[in-house]
Amino acid sequence: MVQQLEKNQIIPLEITGLTSEGNGVGHYGPDRFAFFVPNTAPGDRAQVRVVKLLKNYGYGRLEQLDKPSEDRISSSCPVSGQCGGCSLRHISYEAECRIKNGWIQDSLRRLGGFQISMEPFQPSPDPDRYRNKAQYPVGRDENGRIQIGFYAKRSHRIVDSGGCLLHPPVFSEIAQAVGEFLTGHKIEPYDEASGRGLVRHLYIRMGKISGEIMVCLAVNGETLPHAKGFVQELTSKFPMVSSVVLNVNRKKGNVILGDRCVTLWGKDAIRDVLAGVEVELSPLSFYQVNHDSAEKLYQIAGEYAGLSGGEVLLDLYCGAGTIGLSMAGRCGRLIGVEVIPEAVENARENARRSGAHNAEFLCGDADQAAAQLAEKGIRPDVVVLDPPRKGCGAATLEAVASMSPERIVMVSCNPATMARDCRLLEEKGYRMTRIRGVDMFPRTGHVETVVLMIKK
């Protein structure tokens, strides 16, 4: 088939799938040779120009849309054409949920060998303006002006983010005010290529319920010139700002935050309430970016945990402790494990504020902590696992299985590692009994899954 196809040839294609990068997928000819085509949607019939041919698949460019998919919508976001953030803005939200559910199903089947029917997909209560956190790179545009925005697709060119539909409008207003301040005071943005300059990222967080805002500048240095004026500017323009922080990041590379923070003004942490848990948030602690969806997620995880009162609950990868704490009233003892020390401090404070006297938190690596708990003879009845994208890995799952809990609730932001990890748990004596997709990140190619595994 490849031999018969040529670069620049125009072929008719029906788009039948969509990747998380937002590329439509169609199959051509009797061999069903796969093409990835940007800016297309499942259901499109189109004329596509062949732009790249590889051994097993190729890339195409949309030349003409013969019949548009019924799922297509026109994007209402002013910056979606240039920014690389939202890969699914060209289809309806309903179609997005259907497609994301399909991604989970597909990973389960292909990577885990699971055939299980999924519970109804949980959409985000609000598909727009749901984010409570933004991390804007700071740099210069082609005219040398300071630019605070988003990276353009597959590049480190910073484009304007004003009007972005994922964030509350005040985030763009703060970004603009910070840009004007840096320009007015001749404070240099960081330059990735040379490693010179000061300001690398503007990082903003807001408590959904409290309305409190934290503004953090990640800098290649120890201090900010005109810091007093900076605080004055922010707090006078934005009364909800209750914390202004410098994060010291002097390392080369693209990691956004360094591990040291200096509070310039106000509180070291902002507050919020999530699923009934009083939350303290330090700049470095993980916090769910979509508050309302996170409450849905925790509700499902709580249902899967099936607690009745006396159980020992282990919350691995607990961040600021919120999942476990949302269930603390329904179990006998809660143990949380988290690798970031500030997050553990937050978790302890969150437990205290929420009156969860049965909760304790350990700082450490999940696999070592799980092994230590297993050695100490701690036998959790229920384990909640909420790992980062790379998943749990064999050692952690080994240690968890050796504690022999009745139920394991896995919360995952990556269907591929979720399927792999659940397969491992199956081999260690667990059976997948319930699974449900939850949309925490509308309009982007990310999807969350909650799984219940029960001891066979």
Round to whole Å and give the CA distance between 371 and 364.
11
Binding mask 353-372 toward ligand SAH (x if CB under 6 A, else -) reads ------------xx------
Residue with smaller CB distance to ligand SAH, 176 or 368: 368
Which listed residue (28, 103, 151, 286) binds ligand SAH by CB under 6 A? 286
Residue with smaller CB distance to ligand SAH, 227 or 363: 363
- The residue range among 23-31, 150-158, 192-200, 316-324 that interacts with ligand SAH, by the rule CB under 6 A, is 316-324
Q: Is 272 near ligand SAH (CB under 6 A)?
A: no
Round to whole Å and give the CA distance between 208 and 288.
11
Which spans in 238-357 are helix H?
291-305, 322-327, 341-353
Round to whole Å and give the CA distance between 284 and 88.
29
DSSP letters, 121-147, are: EE--S-SSS-BSEEEEEEEE-TTS-EE
Q: Is 388 near ligand SAH (CB under 6 A)?
A: yes
Round to whole Å and give the CA distance between 235 and 227.
12
Q: Is 71 near ligand SAH (CB under 6 A)?
A: no
Q: Could you tell me which residues are beta bridge partners of residue 241?
A: 213
Q: Is 441 near ligand SAH (CB under 6 A)?
A: no
Q: Name the residue with the smallest CB distance to ligand SAH.
A: 319
Closest CA to 166 of 135, 138, 210, 141: 135
- The residue range among 102-110, 221-229, 335-343, 345-353 that interacts with ligand SAH, by the rule CB under 6 A, is 335-343
Residue with smaller CB distance to ligand SAH, 159 or 344: 344
Q: Is 319 near ligand SAH (CB under 6 A)?
A: yes
Residue with smaller CB distance to ligand SAH, 38 or 388: 388
Q: Which stretch of DSSP H or E encloses residue 69?
A: none
Site size toward ligand SAH (CB under 6 A) is: 16
Binding mask 198-237 toward ligand SAH (x if CB under 6 A, else -) reads ----------------------------------------
Provide the minimum distance between the beta carbon of 234 and ligand SAH in the complex, in angstroms, as a whole number. Answer: 27
Residue with smaller CB distance to ligand SAH, 311 or 338: 338
Provide the minimum distance between the beta carbon of 282 and ligand SAH in the complex, in angstroms, as a whole number. Answer: 11
Q: Is 373 near ligand SAH (CB under 6 A)?
A: no
Tokens of 402: 């050796």
Q: Is 323 near ligand SAH (CB under 6 A)?
A: yes
Round to whole Å and give the CA distance between 88 and 90.
6
CA-angle at 375, arms to 370 and 376, nearest 5°: 100
Total count of residues recorded for the chain: 456
Residue 413 annotated as catalytic: yes
Residue with smaller CB distance to ligand SAH, 102 or 364: 364
Using CB atoms within 10 A of its CB, is residue 258 exposed (0-12), middle (13-18) or buried (19+)?
A: middle
- The residue range among 140-148, 313-321, 397-405, 440-448 that interacts with ligand SAH, by the rule CB under 6 A, is 313-321
Q: Is 336 near ligand SAH (CB under 6 A)?
A: no
Query: What is the rounded radius of gyration, in angstroms, for the C-alpha atoms of the chain?
Result: 24
Q: Is 40 near ligand SAH (CB under 6 A)?
A: no
Which listed residue (34, 339, 395, 454) binds ligand SAH by CB under 6 A? 339
Residue with smaller CB distance to ligand SAH, 329 or 388: 388
**Encoded amino acid at 7, one letter:** K
Closest CA to 26 of 52, 51, 47: 47
DSSP letters, 215-267, are: EEEEESSS--TTHHHHHHHHHHH-TTEEEEEEEE---SSS----SEEEEEEE-
Could you list the active site residues?
Answer: 413
Residue numbers at the binding site for ligand SAH (CB under 6 A):
286, 288, 317-319, 322-323, 337-340, 343, 365-366, 386, 388
